[in-house]
Amino acid sequence: MKFFIDTADISEIRDLAATGLVDGVTTNPSLIEKSGKNFLDLIAEICETVDGPVSAEVAATDYPTMIKEARKLAAIADNIAVKVPLTPAGLKVCKELTDEGAMVNVTLCFSAGQALLAAKAGATFVSPFVGRLDDIGASGLDLIREIMTIYENYPEISTLILVASVRHAGHIIESAKMGADVATLPPALLRQLYNHPLTDKGLETFVADWKKTGQSIL
């Protein structure tokens, strides 16, 4: 499974990119607003920081404006994945950009039927929002399972499942067990994956025992 980080904080992106664990970045208007930076300049900076796909979202909802915004975003860098909503206008833009060779991330997916439409429109990624489905009493992971089943039935589908709205490690682990292609997660959650109390306890014991030897490796 590939890991994208869901943030527009350039310092966080640089720090995590240096670990080699980050395969891409996703952003959205809410994350851009939190950054307080100029959108286009920030996206260009992120694209220079990571080699993998960087999702940059259109702001318009109507097709004529959306396609203009999408082409402007796609021109920023080769690793831009233009992010469009799963609407009729968004899927039309997806089809056009895909035909032009651009990457497209179709976002705000909440049903298997929507995911099938995104694949037929040629999306590079489809982003099902597991956490938001859980919030309303549905099962986000069941949606991932349904999409996986449908996509596996059709070898010609190349759209990657990008698990979004990830709230906890269970979302990541269960999605990985199903074979989902990508998970996008907040930086804090990625760092949580390092942690286990037995790791901490074992390291504490090793450090204490090493001190008792009185030796130094350097």
For tokens 């990571």, the residue is: 50
Does the annotation mark 83 as catalytic?
A: yes
The span from the CA of 186 to the CA of 18, in Å, is: 16
Beta strands in 66-102 (DSSP E): 80-85
How many angstroms from the chain centroid is the CA of residue 4?
4
Count of beta carbons in the 10 Å neighbourhood of residue 171? 23
DSSP state of 164: B
Question: Which of 72, 83, 211, 212 is labelled catalytic?
Answer: 83
Structure tokens at 35: 């950054």
Token pair recorded at residue 62:
């109507």
Give me 61's structure tokens. 């909802």
What secondary structure does DSSP assign to 119-161, as a single string? Answer: HHTT-SEEEEBHHHHHHTTS-HHHHHHHHHHHHHT-TT--PEE
34, burial (CB in 10 Å: exposed 0-12, middle 13-18, buried 19+):
exposed
Beta bridge partners of 82: 56, 104
Tokens of 50: 């990571």
Q: Active-site residues: which are they?
A: 83
